[in-house]
């Protein structure tokens, strides 16, 4: 058997530590931490908070160890792991960490500062994987060899070839095999790196650093960008037929880039295509092919895949890259973007997709009107919101028509949009949904009418306030209607609201505490001495709910 290193350069001699008990105890805790992490990994199959705690504890101990030792080198025996000749870990059974390493030929491990980073997680995972391997599968040595370790060195022995038996010990000296004498025999000697230090091409330390930097730069190159640049070179110097072929290749690459979440690369590719087309280097046939490529972005499948990626990546997604890509979506993508944004399950992706839809709509706002009439309720609701946000006045009748839509979400979006649009036609239409079948729509309509100061709605609100339905509704709805009535009717509303707050029936009964509190909040929207007088009369009411509402209303009246 021969000793072999990870690389040709031998490991430097391990320096002795302090030699005190504290250093040795730290080393023992680190080595035993590997064993604990391995057992926990095997027990929970790599997914457990306990495993995370063990690994984090081991990471902290190793980070602290580097203040005492420049690196940690241990020797592997069948049942022990040694440090400076003494056992740092002893396996109680045959199936332990020391035997796992020893069985597969590992005889020495050297951990260097920085190992506690990514190398630590990878090392523990490989130990667990090696533990589960069958005899006819790979061994730990093979697994270690397949990875590029930045802060780990190891020494191992190669197993004997199949069918080769080691020599048996005996008390006699083995006889020499007869061999023909050779002239001028040369004495055997060992070979070391010192023999090559004076060689012509031996690299010094500075050259090694430069070589390592070049290697890292080469390994970190973005091959996608290189491939795309090569394609763009063919666009510049190619014939129209070749240019069409290159654009066709780019069209095939686009879904792959989106599926791999390489949004920045996709945006770069589209930007280069636009730049080349703007420079006038394409003929009519090539331009048609490029328009076909961009039309892929308007397809529902493409937008749906993008929405999936945005939701899956979450906060880790580069928002600037996403915005750069969305800037190239054509106007035809407005409908799919609205659909994807309205259906998005995460606030981040919803904001990004609907923001892109708003940018497209701001270029051609009239495109929103047919989308508001779409059969898909998500598209119709999204289009309605943008009509209000972008103040598309011509879309007022479209929004009014949506107040009769079968889907409550669309009706709610239309109410909110009409409030933003602030058109007389739309304000009048809001009265029709004060008694809508959906509570949220009714509440939004009452609040919208109050915000718009649409005085003609006063009579309809009075009817609702006297209705049995409102008395049986939820508190939020009652508050919305009472406040809307106070805001619209002004001083003329005091009589009705005062009667609800302070009045009694002919049997001496009063309204319920919640109804009286709602009336007080309605009076709080009336800036008139009569309203303040009515509230003051109930300031010392026995019902705490009423007192609280009266206090809020009085503060609202006195605010400048």
Distance CA 76, CA 469 (A): 82
Measured CA to CA, the distance from residue 252 to residue 206 in angstroms comes to: 45
pLDDT score at 558: 83
Candidates 392, 354, 349, 355; CA nearest to 370 is 392
Based on the fold, state whether residues 476 and 554 are members of the same structural domain. Answer: yes
- pLDDT score recorded for residue 560: 67
Three-state SS across 243-262? HHHHHHHHHHHHHHHHHCCC
Please give the Cα distance from 225 to 270 (Å, whole number): 12
* Token representation of residue 75: 């020797």
User: Does one domain contain both 228 and 330?
Assistant: yes
Q: Are 359 and 232 contained in the same domain?
A: yes
Domain boundary among 299, 334, 363: 363
Dig out the tokens for 326 from the structure.
């969305």
Supply the range of the domain harboring residue 246. 222-363
Does the residue 62 lie in any domain?
yes
The residue among 342, 363, 384 that closes a domain is 363
- pLDDT at res. 172: 43
Starting from the edge strand earliest in sequence, which strands make up the sheet with 86-90, in order? 3-5, 152-157, 106-111, 72-76, 80-83, 86-90
Output the tens digit of pLDDT for each of the chain's 560 residues: 444 444 433 444 444 444 578 899 999 999 998 988 888 888 777 777 778 888 898 999 999 999 899 999 999 998 899 999 899 998 876 568 888 898 888 999 999 999 998 889 899 888 888 888 766 567 888 888 888 898 999 898 865 444 545 555 444 444 444 444 444 444 444 445 554 454 445 566 777 788 888 887 777 777 788 888 888 887 776 688 888 888 888 888 888 888 888 888 888 888 888 888 887 777 888 888 888 888 888 888 888 888 888 888 777 778 888 888 888 888 888 888 898 888 887 888 888 888 888 888 888 899 899 999 999 999 999 999 999 999 998 998 999 999 999 999 999 999 999 999 888 878 888 988 999 999 999 999 999 999 999 988 999 998 988 888 888 899 999 999 999 999 998 899 899 999 999 887 656 578 888 999 999 999 999 988 999 999 999 888 888 999 999 999 999 888 76
3-state secondary structure of 90: strand
- Is 390 in the same domain as 464? no
In a domain, 177, yes or no: no
Residues 272 and 411 in one domain: no
- Verify that 516 and 557 share a domain, yes or no: yes
Indicate the pTM of the whole model: 0.55
| Helices 240-259 & 300-313 angle (0-180, nearest 10) | 40
Q: Which uninterrupted H or E stretch holds 309?
A: helix 300-313
CB 128 within 8 A of CB 173: no
Domain boundary residue, one of 138, 157, 176: 157
What's the CATH code of the domain at 399? 1.25.10.10
Count of CA atoms in the C-beta half-sphere (13 A) of 251: 16
174 domain residue, yes or no = no
DSSP conformation class of 333? G
User: 9 with 51, same domain?
Assistant: yes
Residue 521 sits in a domain whose CATH number is 1.25.10
Same domain, 24 and 128: yes
User: 235-245 as b/e, with b when 16 or more CB fall inside 10 Å?
Assistant: beebeeeebbb
Q: Is 340 in the same domain as 375?
A: no
CA nearest 231: which of 251, 246, 252, 244?
246
Per-residue exposure over 131-153, b if at least 16 CB sit within 10 Å of its own CB, e if not: eeeeeeeebbbebbeeeebebbb
Our count of domains for the chain comes to 4
Q: To 10 degrees, the CA torsion angle through 266, 271, 273, 279?
A: -170
Q: Is 169 inside any structural domain?
A: no
Together in a domain, 359 and 411: no
Check residue 380 and give its pLDDT: 93
Same domain for 527 and 389: no
Q: Is residue 208 part of a domain?
A: no
Asked, for residue 122, whether it belongs to a domain, the answer is: yes
What pLDDT score does 2 carry?
Answer: 40
According to the model, what pLDDT value does residue 93 have? 66
Same domain, 18 and 130: yes
Tokens representing 46 are 């790599």
């Amino acid at each position: 058997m021969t000793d072999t290193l990870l690389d040709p350069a031998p490991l430097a001699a391990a320096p002795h530590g302090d030699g005190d008990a504290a250093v040795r105890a730290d080393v023992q805790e680190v080595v035993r931490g590997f064993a604990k992490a391995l057992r926990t990994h095997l027990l929970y199959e790599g997914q457990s908070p306990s495993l995370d705690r063990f690994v984090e504890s081991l990471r902290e101990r190793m980070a602290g160890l580097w203040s005492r030792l420049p690196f940690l080198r241990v020797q592997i025996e069948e049942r022990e792991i040694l440090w400076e000749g003494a056992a740092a870990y002893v396996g109680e059974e045959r199936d332990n960490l020391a035997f796992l390493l020893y069985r597969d030929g590992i005889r020495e491990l050297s951990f260097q500062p920085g190992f506690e980073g990514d190398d630590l997680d990878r090392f523990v995972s490989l130990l667990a994987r090696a533990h589960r391997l069958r005899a006819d599968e790979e061994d730990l040595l093979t697994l270690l060899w397949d990875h590029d370790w930045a802060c780990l060195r190891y020494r191992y022995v190669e197993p004997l070839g199949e069918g080769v038996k080691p020599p048996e010990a005996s008390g006699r000296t083995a006889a020499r095999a007869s061999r023909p004498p050779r002239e001028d025999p040369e004495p055997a000697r060992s070979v070391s790196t010192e023999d090559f230090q004076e060689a012509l091409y031996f690299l010094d330390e500075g050259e090694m650093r430069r070589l390592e930097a070049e290697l890292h730069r080469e390994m970190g190159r973005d091959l996608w960008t290189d491939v795309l640049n090569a394609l763009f070179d063919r666009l510049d110097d190619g014939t129209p037929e070749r240019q069409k072929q290159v654009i066709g290749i780019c069209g095939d690459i686009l879904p792959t880039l989106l599926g791999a979440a390489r949004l920045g690369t996709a945006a770069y590719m589209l930007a280069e295509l636009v730049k080349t087309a703007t420079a006038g280097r394409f003929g009519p046939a090539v331009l048609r092919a490029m328009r076909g490529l961009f039309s892929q972005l308007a397809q529902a499948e493409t937008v749906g895949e993008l929405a999936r990626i945005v939701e899956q990546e979450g906060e880790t997604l580069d928002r600037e890259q996403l915005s750069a890509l969305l800037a190239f979506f054509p106007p035809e993508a407005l409908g799919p973007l609205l659909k994807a944004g309205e259906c998005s399950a995460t606030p981040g992706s919803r904001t990004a997709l609907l923001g892109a839809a708003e940018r497209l709509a701001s270029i051609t706002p009239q495109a929103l009107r047919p989308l508001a009439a779409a059969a898909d309720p998500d598209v119709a609701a999204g289009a309605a919101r943008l009509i209000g946000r972008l103040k598309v006045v011509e879309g007022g009748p479209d929004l009014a028509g949506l107040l009769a839509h079968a889907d409550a979400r669309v009706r709610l979006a239309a109410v909110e949009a009409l409030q933003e649009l602030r058109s007389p036609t739309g304000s009048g239409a809001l009265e029709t949904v004060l008694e809508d079948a959906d509570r949220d729509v009714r509440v939004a309509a009452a609040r919208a009418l109050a915000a718009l100061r649409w005085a003609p709605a006063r009579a309809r609100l009075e009817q609702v306030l006297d209705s049995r339905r409102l008395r049986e509704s939820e508190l939020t709805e009652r508050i919305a209607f009472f406040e809307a009535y106070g805001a619209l009717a002004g001083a003329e509303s005091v009589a009705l609201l005062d009667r609800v707050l302070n009045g009694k029936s002919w049997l001496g009964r009063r309204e319920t505490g919640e109804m009286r509190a709602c009336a007080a909040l309605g009076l709080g929207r009336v800036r008139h001495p009569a309203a303040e007088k009515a509230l003051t009369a109930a300031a010392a009411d026995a019902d705490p709910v009423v007192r609280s509402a009266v206090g809020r209303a009085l503060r609202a009246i006195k605010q400048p």
